[in-house]
Amino acid sequence: MGGFFHRHRGVTPYLLLAPGILWLGIFFLVPMGFLGYQSLQSGIFPDFRFTWEFSNFSTALTDYHQQLIRSFVYAGIATVACLLLAYPLAYWIAFRAGPWRNLFLLFIVAPFFVTYLVRTLAWLNILADQGPVVRVLRDVHILAPDGRLLATTFAVISGITYNFFPFMALPVYVSLEQIDPRLLEAAKDLYASSFQAFLRVTLPLSAPGIVAGTLITFIPAAGDFINAALLGTPNQQMIGNVIQAKFLESLDYPGAASLSFILMGTILVMLLVYARIVGTEKLTG
């Protein structure tokens, strides 16, 4: 086997790439092609016909632009919240946790041991009208006597933040953990304060982790529908809820497919703009 690869060095990279390319072709490109084919169909279930119905896209944007915008707003707020919560935690684990580092990392990934749906259902009890959180907030008069957290925008964003928090914390931690402590010592030897060393050394060197974390948090959060369905009301409906309803309830496959492409296309454009702003070198680390 080693002799074969040695004799065919020019072919070796392609042979190594072949399994991955085959996997992507079968389970990504083929479904995407079929989805694109569906998005240009017309008719009523089950009699759909391919008619190059580009109006599906304009109709979807006209009818559901509010849910699309709401999805990106919720995902953006949740991503910022995840960053504000994850960065101090990851910083402390990377530089202060010492021998307890692995234990705290386990705590971060522990929610993944429970299914996404069960984790979200747990928030129904946490934010319930008669639950301890609401009672305490009412007692300190942050909430009105009849105030509630469940079935609100706050509940949906909180659920998204909780569920996608590890996606932010882990890349940020990896980026911070790779920083050589001697660089911080050198900054302090040059009379930089701890805050100045953080701004001039730690923060720039951890930027790749921040960029990676924001991407892998924002992208799935924008398409999420579980949190809005369980923790919100129709007023908090996201674009994922609309797509799910069109596929599984109204059986409007062309409309659902066109909305899916609009969501993916919008995210792709935002990703390209984001990459242009932060610089591609930060995306690659």
What pLDDT is attached to residue 103? 93
Q: Choose the most confident range, by mean pLDDT, from 82-86, 111-115, 144-148.
A: 82-86
Q: Same domain, yes or no, for 153 and 250? A: yes
Residue 193 domain-assigned (yes or no): yes
Confidence bin at 12 (pLDDT 50/70/90): confident
Shared domain check, 129 and 17: no
228-238 residue pLDDT tens: 999 999 999 99
Question: Which pLDDT belongs to residue 9?
Answer: 65
Report pLDDT digits (tens) over 147-198: 889 999 999 999 999 999 999 999 999 999 999 888 888 988 888 888 898 9
Query: Is position 119 within any domain?
Result: yes
Range of the domain at 21: 1-39
Same domain assignment for residues 19 and 123: no
Question: pTM score, two decimals?
Answer: 0.90
Alpha helices in 40-152 (DSSP H): 55-95, 101-109, 116-126, 132-139
Q: What pLDDT, on the 0 to 100 scale, is given for residue 222?
A: 95
What's the CA gap between 77 and 89, in Å, rounded?
Answer: 19
- Look at residue 187 in the predicted model and tell me its pLDDT: 87
Q: Do 183 and 257 fall within a single domain?
A: yes
Look at residue 48 and tell me if it is in a domain.
no
* pLDDT more than 70, % of the chain: 94
- Is there a single domain that holds both residue 84 and residue 221? yes
For residue 280, is pLDDT > 60?
A: no
Q: Is residue 49 part of a domain?
A: no
DSSP-derived secondary structure letter, 114 = S
Q: Are residues 77 and 20 part of one domain?
A: no
47 belongs to a structural domain: no
Percent of the chain with pLDDT over 90: 65
> Per-residue confidence at 74, pLDDT binned at 50, 70, 90?
very high
Verify that 6 and 91 share a domain, yes or no: no
Residues 247 and 146 both lie in one domain? yes
The answer to whether residue 7 scores a pLDDT higher than 70 is no
> What whole-number distance in Å separates Cα of residue 147 and Cα of residue 186?
53
Residue 219 is encoded by which pair of tokens?
A: 């992208």
The 3-state DSSP class for residue 21 equals helix
Domain count for the chain? 2
Q: What is the CATH number of the domain that holds 133?
A: 1.10.3720.10
In what helix (H) or strand (E) does residue 24 lie, and over which residues does it extend?
A: helix 12-24
Average pLDDT over residues 255-262: 95
